[in-house]
Amino acid sequence: MRDIPPSPWPDPTALAALQARERERFLAAHPTSRALAERCAAHYLYGVPLHWMRDWPNPVTLFVHAAQGAQLTCVDGHAYVDFCLGDTGAMFGHSPAPVAQAVAAQAAQGLTCMLPAEAAARVGERLAQRFGLSCWQLAMTASDANRFVLRWARAITGRPQVLVFDGCYHGAVDDTLVDRDPATGATVRRRSVLGGVHDHHAFTRVIPFNDLDALDAALADGQVAALLAEPALTNFGLVPPAPGFWEAAQALCRRHGTLLVLDETHTLSSGVGGYARTHGLSPDMWVAGKAVAGGVPCAVYGFTAEVAARMRAAKDAAPEGHSGIGTTLTANALALAALDAALEHLHTPASYAAMARAADALEAGLNARLHRRQLPWTVTRLGARMELQFMPRTPRNADDVRQHAQPALEASLHLFLLNRGVLLTPFHGMMLCSPATGDDHVARLLAAFDEWLDALGR
Ligand SMILES: Cc1ncc(COP(=O)(O)O)c(C=O)c1O
């Protein structure tokens, strides 16, 4: 199919004028956030405890008073329907009651001991039952889990290389902060990454997503320890796998002796147990963080019994001392309590049915508007997550996304909706539905979207 050429609409000058008005509107409505921003400017880099917290299009930081279910309120008393959900950390809703109660109970009985809490045995059983892999380790964050998984993969295969897809994001893991040079196909350092010293080309290969020939070629020399991948790209626009892609990719990994590692930190939203479970894939290793313990810092990685045996052999053969895997607070009692409660009460068919109901309504509402207003845009869906894409079809890989990027339009959508009480994920047009997301929340987003399109004269 031929792409429709980019339309001259919306006019950049009109878009800039609208954004200027929205910035003024935000400033007028948020005097308390402005005052806090001024105080924070004195003691925080960029005025925030983590510099990403300024990666939103609002002219000053929005400070949160409280978050509950699918809503949050800011310090100026405005309520927001939250479709960002902490970029998936709060996928099951903010402060889900079973997790909040488990954390409160555990908090009075020890926070961290560097010994397993009593709940560990039950948590291990629940992990195996819910996600289908027999053996598990914990980490504090998905970044850490991915870092450790890559160490194990190299240790047990004796191979130096890892393979990722162009446009991937697996957290703050040096090996994966790379891009593919479109001219040469070479692995290059992601230009935005600070302080890089790695010679990435020597240890990481990057290929386009959904490209089985490229995958076969990258694995052919037997040097790749692991393919680390999200089942769908979710951090560079939402790019779903082509039909049959993963079955064939899994077979190629097996044929070349490369471990298949699926990072389901975001695609956990695909269905109960994540994408692999829902679609019958059998990765060698599997990672999830963010929402896995209901939003309390915790990540997990699972692996097959065969991989576990190889891990044990590698560790037993190594000299005594640091393995380079693990951090002191990992699997602390608070995290285990939250994980236990989340596995019992949140990772359930009922949660996912509620998420799907809200996502169905949102997808239908967005598509009806695109159709009615004859907009050459696309809504791409993966379970409870979807993305509004300013392009006429669902992308196949990262280059597709790059070609259709419209950052000014995206920033306009974000700020306009924020000013009307709707929060989207800041880095792209991603919307995630939690079990607490109701019809009224969806209706609010759709009404604000209509108002935005009216303002753009469409
Ligand atoms: C797929 C995936 N893996 C790993 C991470 C890293 O998670 P964290 O920042 O919690 O370490 C992210 C973060 O967005 C992610 O999307």
Average pLDDT over residues 295-304: 98
Is the distance from CB of 355 to CB of 269 less than 8 angstroms? yes
Q: Which amino acid is at 162?
A: V
Pairing of strands 299-303, 378-382: unpaired
Distance 171 CA to ligand 1 centre (A): 4
Phi, psi of 257 (to 5 degrees): 70, 25
176 close to ligand 1 (CB < 6 Angstrom): no
Give the contacts of 156 (CB within 8 A, at least 6 positions apart).
225, 259, 307, 310, 311, 313, 314
Distance 425 CA to ligand 1 centre (A): 14
Query: Given the CA of residue 267, which atom of ligand 1 is nearest to it?
Result: 1
pTM of the model: 0.97
> Comparing 161-170, 178-187, 219-228, 385-394, which segment has the lowest mean pLDDT?
178-187
Q: 355 to each of 82, 218, 362, 452, how far by Cα in Å?
A: 13, 37, 11, 25
269 close to ligand 1 (CB < 6 Angstrom): no
Distance 146 CA to ligand 1 centre (A): 9
Q: What SS3 state is found at 432? A: strand
**What's the rounded Cα separation, in Å, for the pair 86 and 66?**
13
Pairing of strands 385-389, 430-432: antiparallel
**What's the rounded Cα separation, in Å, for the pair 156 and 257?**
11
From 91, 170, 275, give the residue whose CB has the most ligand 1 atoms within 8 Å, as the site to mutate: 170
**What's the rounded Cα separation, in Å, for the pair 142 and 149?**
10
Q: What SS3 state is found at 251? A: helix
Name the percent of the chain lying above pLDDT 70: 98
Q: What pLDDT, on the 0 to 100 scale, is given for residue 391?
A: 96
- How many CA atoms, within 13 angstroms, populate the side-chain half-sphere of residue 388? 27
Span 22-66, pLDDT tens digits:
999 999 999 999 999 999 999 999 999 999 999 999 999 999 999
**What's the rounded Cα separation, in Å, for the pair 161 and 254?**
16
169 close to ligand 1 (CB < 6 Angstrom): yes
**What's the rounded Cα separation, in Å, for the pair 149 and 171?**
13
Distance 15 CA to ligand 1 centre (A): 32
Is the distance from CB of 456 to CB of 18 less than 8 angstroms? yes
Q: Which helix (H) or strand (E) holds 261?
A: strand 259-263
Distance 236 CA to ligand 1 centre (A): 12
Give the contacts of 180 (CB within 8 A, at least 6 positions apart).
166, 186, 187, 188, 206, 207, 208, 398
- Report whether pLDDT(8) > 80: no
284 close to ligand 1 (CB < 6 Angstrom): no
Give the contacts of 404 (CB within 8 A, at least 6 positions apart).
6, 389, 390, 391, 395
- Report whether pLDDT(1) > 50: no
Average pLDDT over residues 384-410: 96
289 close to ligand 1 (CB < 6 Angstrom): yes
* pLDDT band, residue 406 (cuts 50/70/90): very high
Give the contacts of 198 (CB within 8 A, at least 6 positions apart).
174, 175, 189
15 close to ligand 1 (CB < 6 Angstrom): no
263 close to ligand 1 (CB < 6 Angstrom): yes
From 149, 230, 263, 265, give the residue whose CB has the most ligand 1 atoms within 8 Å, as the site to mutate: 265
| Burial letters 68-79, b for 16+ CB under 10 A, else e | ebbbbebbbebe
**What's the rounded Cα separation, in Å, for the pair 430 and 266?**
11
Give the contacts of 356 (CB within 8 A, at least 6 positions apart).
383, 384, 433
Distance 288 CA to ligand 1 centre (A): 8
From 55, 84, 143, give the residue whose CB has the most ligand 1 atoms within 8 Å, as the site to mutate: 143
Average pLDDT over residues 445-449: 98
**What's the rounded Cα separation, in Å, for the pair 404 and 407?**
10
171 close to ligand 1 (CB < 6 Angstrom): yes
Span 86-134, pLDDT tens digits:
999 999 999 999 999 999 999 999 999 999 999 999 999 999 999 999 9
